[in-house]
Amino acid sequence: MLAMEVAILSERGGRPYNEDACGHWHSKRHLACVLADGAGGHGGGDLASRLAVQNLLAAVQAHPEDCGEQLAGLVRQTNQAILDQRRPGTRSADMHSTVVCLVVDFIEHRAYWAHAGDSRLYWFRNGRLNGRTLDHSLVQGLVEVGLVSEAELRHHPRRSELRSALGTQPDELDVSARSGPAEIAAGDCFLLCSDGLWENLDDRDLEATLATARAPGDWLDALRRIVTAATAGKPGYDNFSAMALWLSQPNL
């Protein structure tokens, strides 16, 4: 069995309101974390992100034992729930949202994740980045074919153009999920975050702040300070949100 600590950060940034949403649910065996970033350019992004979090957490809670292998399907169900909630003539008429979801079985030491859009999951082991999700974005595609470097991705003028997000017609939606469970261990850390956070941080920032943090809340406080410094004097900078999960040996 693994012990867990979870911390949440969500800031409005320089925007009139926060279109990010996040939440978690747990039982005696499972934990689910969901983070979503409403697409502000479409209107109703705050509604879409809240729907994404609420629907995914409810779907996991309904069938926690087998939800991990079905996570991509649950994301697709959530996409349909957002489409069903659109109302012509209102600001929900074309609402969209990114989403990233992590499900942990802390008895079997397994984790599953899935995402759509450019909200990310980072996985750290022994204080080092062990892997992350790949964005469904135009610029990520350019990185993958070697036309743009990873370092350039964060500041590319077209970095916000998504190839997929919730609110897309089912036959056009791209959902990525880990193939099979990840074997996790005490000391592993996960970070789920929206693009308003990761575009202001590189991998070295994430590892350096993790190394000095004594708790997940400390880690997120350090990340907040970096983002706040990076966006100082920039009007209208994006909302930024994150969820940190730390796994440890339980105190028996």
We report the CATH number of the domain holding residue 116 as 3.60.40.10
State the pLDDT at residue 197: 94
Report the alpha-carbon distance of residue 247 to residue 3 in Å, rounded.
6
**Under a CB-based contact definition with an 8 Å cutoff, are residues 4 and 106 in contact?**
yes
Is residue 177 in a domain?
A: yes
Place of tokens 């030491």: 109
State the pLDDT at residue 154: 78
State the pLDDT at residue 147: 87
State the pLDDT at residue 40: 56
Q: Which residue, among 159, 91, 90, has the nearest Cα to 120 in the 3D structure? A: 159
Structural domain boundaries enclosing 69: 3-233+240-247
> In degrees rounded to 5, what are phi and psi of residue 215?
-160, 160
Give the pLDDT band of residue 84 (cuts 50, 70, 90). very high
Is residue 224 in a domain?
A: yes
**Under a CB-based contact definition with an 8 Å cutoff, are residues 89 and 41 in contact?**
no
Q: Give helix 45-62 / helix 71-84 axis angle, nearest 10°.
A: 140
| 150-203 pLDDT per residue, tens | 777 877 878 778 989 999 999 999 999 998 999 999 999 999 999 999 999 999
Total domain count, the chain: 1
| 221-237 pLDDT per residue, tens | 999 999 999 998 788 78
Distance of CA 125 to the CA centre of its chain: 18
Contacts of residue 134, defined as CB under 8 A and 6 or more positions apart, other chains included, come to 140, 144, 176
State the pLDDT at residue 234: 84
Report the alpha-carbon distance of residue 51 to residue 78 in Å, rounded.
8
Is residue 119 in a domain?
A: yes
Phi and psi based region of residue 127 (left: phi greater than 0; alpha: psi -120 to 50; beta: remaining): left
Whole-prediction pTM: 0.94
Is residue 66 in a domain?
A: yes
pLDDT at 74 over 60: yes
Is residue 252 in a domain?
A: no
